[in-house]
Structures are given as C-alpha cells and as structure tokens.
Amino acid sequence: MQEKIKQNHNLILENRKSLNISGITDVDSFDDREICLYTEIGELTIQGRELHIDSMSVETGNMTITGDIWALVYGDKDRRGPISAIGRLFR
C-alpha cells in the first residue's frame, strides 16, 4: 500500500504580483479572477485580476501564480479534495 508523504504548506507573496505556493493537493477551478484549490491544510481561494498559473508540479505540489492578487481566503480546513456531485447539492 502506497502512503502519501505529507508536505508542508507555504505561501510566498511578492508585491501582490507573484505567489508561490507549496503543499497543493488538487485544483478545483480557475479563471482570470479566481483560483480555487486544495492544500495540505484545507481549501484556498485566490482572488484577483488577470490571474495566471505559470507553473504547477503534480509531483511536488508546488504552484506559481502571477497577476494582480487581491485576496487569499482559506476555507474548511478538513476538506483536502473536491467533493462529489451529490456533496455539492447539500453544501
């Protein structure tokens, strides 16, 4: 049985234009105004304008985002992955 190694979650925001994130487990949705993803410590939503995912590594869980970053909002810390279609109905 393969066991996933838990990674630390870190954010480095530079001048509200570049964001480096580690500890990402999944990306739920993204567009140029909002990126919704899951980290080792729960949901994270990045809001802004002209957001662009420059790089993402599935192996390491690292991501680099550029754009005009307005907000970093953490959600439910117990949710580390997307919910099912039935779960969305009752959310």
Burial (CB < 10 A; 0-12, 13-18, 19+), residue 52, is exposed
* pLDDT value of position 59: 87
Question: Token digits for 23?
Answer: 């500890």
* pLDDT value of position 8: 87
With a threshold of 0.75, does the pTM exceed it?
A: yes
Yes or no: say if 21 and 11 are a contact pair by the CB < 8 Å rule. yes
pLDDT by residue, tens only, the chain of 91 residues: 445 556 789 999 999 999 999 999 999 999 999 999 999 888 999 999 999 999 999 889 999 999 999 999 998 776 555 544 444 444 4
* Cα 4 → chain centroid: 18
* pLDDT value of position 89: 46
